[in-house]
């Protein structure tokens, strides 16, 4: 990882504020403008909107549990996983860890969710469910892969690129940690490829929020997480074709342009 700087910020001390009007304002007071703006956002108002969204997803009546040393435990897990990918990372990273009390994340995602905010910033959201530590490791690798590939930050992403983008992240995570995530197993390979044929006309269209939500998050006729399943199986097919799934040159693959991969499938 060389001279790359890794900054990890945790905000579990504000878990008692979840669902209250003062959650966002309380966290905002703890975040100052830095090299990556306001926690990855250009303006403080944009950060507040993001925090409001986290708070809005307080969808359970469960009191957020107090876990001793959860801040240090999170940092320990994140740093452990980052060491596994250090040879692929050539940029400074900023990771923000927030409490979340979202029913779907707790039930379907083992209490952990993540998102890549921009080319150097990741948000992780955690509820300490039974297997949250294992899922934090999985999510950390998945999200860091998005930063390593990086190609989608410089221009509008196309639907086909978004599929490959997620597929690379999950196949890379699987190569390091094993197992399959729930969003991959949302569809069988056969079902995923059938839907892929149906959406081929969309591959070169801009991945707008409306289209993305229909393909990835089940707001249209396709099941939730469809895009993740399709992306996983597309990239798996590519790996089998190019590398026979052995001796994969991940350093090259992580930086390969997704449209080129689609052309070879």
Examine the domain organization and report whether 196 and 140 are in the same domain: no
pLDDT of the residue at 257: 86
Examine the domain organization and report whether 226 and 254 are in the same domain: yes
pLDDT tens digits, one per residue of 54-108: 999 888 888 899 999 999 999 999 999 999 999 999 889 999 999 999 999 999 9
3-class DSSP state of 83: helix
Examine the domain organization and report whether 199 and 124 are in the same domain: no
pLDDT tens digits, one per residue of 217-239: 999 999 999 999 999 999 999 99
Examine the domain organization and report whether 114 and 175 are in the same domain: no
Q: Rounded distance, CA 99 to CA 52, Å?
A: 13
Q: Which residues touch 200 (CB under 8 Å, ≥6 apart)?
A: none
Examine the domain organization and report whether 38 and 139 are in the same domain: yes
pLDDT of the residue at 40: 95
| pLDDT of residue 120 exceeding 90 | yes
pLDDT of the residue at 155: 67
pLDDT of the residue at 154: 63
Mean pLDDT of the chain: 92
Which residue from 44, 18, 40 is spatially nearest to 29, judged by alpha carbons?
44
pLDDT tens digits, one per residue of 132-175: 999 999 999 999 999 999 766 766 788 999 999 999 999 999 99
Examine the domain organization and report whether 183 and 205 are in the same domain: yes
Examine the domain organization and report whether 50 and 143 are in the same domain: yes
Domain extent, residue 230, equals: 159-263
Examine the domain organization and report whether 61 and 168 are in the same domain: no
Contact (CB, 8 A) for 259 and 200: no
State the Cα angle at 55 between 49 and 60, rounded to 5°.
Answer: 155
**pTM, entire model:** 0.93
pLDDT of the residue at 265: 80
* Residue 262 CB neighbour total at 10 angstroms: 18
Q: Of the spans 7-11, 90-94, 150-154, 246-250, which averages the highest pLDDT?
A: 7-11
Q: Give me the number of domains the chain comprises.
A: 2
pLDDT tens digits, one per residue of 181-217: 999 999 999 999 999 999 999 999 988 888 999 999 9
Does residue 17 sit within a domain? yes
């Amino acid at each position: 990882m060389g001279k790359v700087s890794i900054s990890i910020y945790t905000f579990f001390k504000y878990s008692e504020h979840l669902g209250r009007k003062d959650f966002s304002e309380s966290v905002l007071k703890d975040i100052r403008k830095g090299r990556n703006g306001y926690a990855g956002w250009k303006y403080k108002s944009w950060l507040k909107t993001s925090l409001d969204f986290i708070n809005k997803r307080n969808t359970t009546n469960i009191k957020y549990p107090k876990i001793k040393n959860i801040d240090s435990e999170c940092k320990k897990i994140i740093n452990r996983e980052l060491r596994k990918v250090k040879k692929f990372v050539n940029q400074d990273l900023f990771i923000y860890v927030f409490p979340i009390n979202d029913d779907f994340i707790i039930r379907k995602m083992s209490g952990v969710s993540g998102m890549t905010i921009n080319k150097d910033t990741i948000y992780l959201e955690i509820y300490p469910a039974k297997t949250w530590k294992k899922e934090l490791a999985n999510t950390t690798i998945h999200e860091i892969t998005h930063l390593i590939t990086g190609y989608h930050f410089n221009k509008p992403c196309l639907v086909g690129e978004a599929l490959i983008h997620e597929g690379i992240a999950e196949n890379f995570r699987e190569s390091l940690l094993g197992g399959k995530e729930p969003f991959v197993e949302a569809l069988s390979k056969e079902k995923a490829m059938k839907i892929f044929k149906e959406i081929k006309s969309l591959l070169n269209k801009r991945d707008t929020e409306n289209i993305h939500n229909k393909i990835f998050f089940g707001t249209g006729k396709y099941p939730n997480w469809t895009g993740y399943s399709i992306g996983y199986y597309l990239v798996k097919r590519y790996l089998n074709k190019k590398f026979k799934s052995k001796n994969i040159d991940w350093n090259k693959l992580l930086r390969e342009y997704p449209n080129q991969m689609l052309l070879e499938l």
